[in-house]
Amino acid sequence: MYQIEYTLEAVADLKSLKKSEQGAILDAIDVQLRYEPTVETRNRKQMRPNAIAQWELRIGQFRVLYNVETAVRVVDVRRIGKKQRNLYLFRGQQEDLQ
C-alpha cells in the first residue's frame, strides 16, 4: 500500500474547488493511487517529460498530476486541476507544464 502525500499547491488547488468536487477527487485518488499508482489504465497514464509530474490521473474533467517514489511507497500529488483540450487549468489559471 502506498502513502499519499499532497504538496501545498495541490491542497490549494483542491480548496479552490466545490466541496462535492473535492470529495469525489479525494475518493478517486484513494481508490486509484493507493495500491498500483504506476500501472497504466484508461484513467491513469505516464506523462511526457515536464516540470510538474510524471503521472496523470483522469477524474472526469479533472486531472491529478503526481509522482511516485516506489522505494518508499509514496505517491506525491503535485497539482489538481481541470483540463480543457490541451490546456491545464489550476485554480482557473492556465499553466504551462514545460
**C-alpha to C-alpha distance for 40 and 97, rounded to whole angstroms:** 20
Cell numbers representing residue 80 in the block: 489538481
The CATH superfamily holding the domain 3-95 is RelE-like (3.30.2310.20)
Radius of gyration of the chain (CA): 12
**C-alpha to C-alpha distance for 3 and 49, rounded to whole angstroms:** 24
Which of 66, 69, 92 minimizes the C-alpha distance to 81? 92
pLDDT band with cut points at 50, 70 and 90 for residue 56 = very high
**Percent of the chain having pLDDT more than 90?**
87
pTM score, two decimals?
0.93
pLDDT of residue 98: 64
Q: What is the overall mean pLDDT for the chain?
A: 94
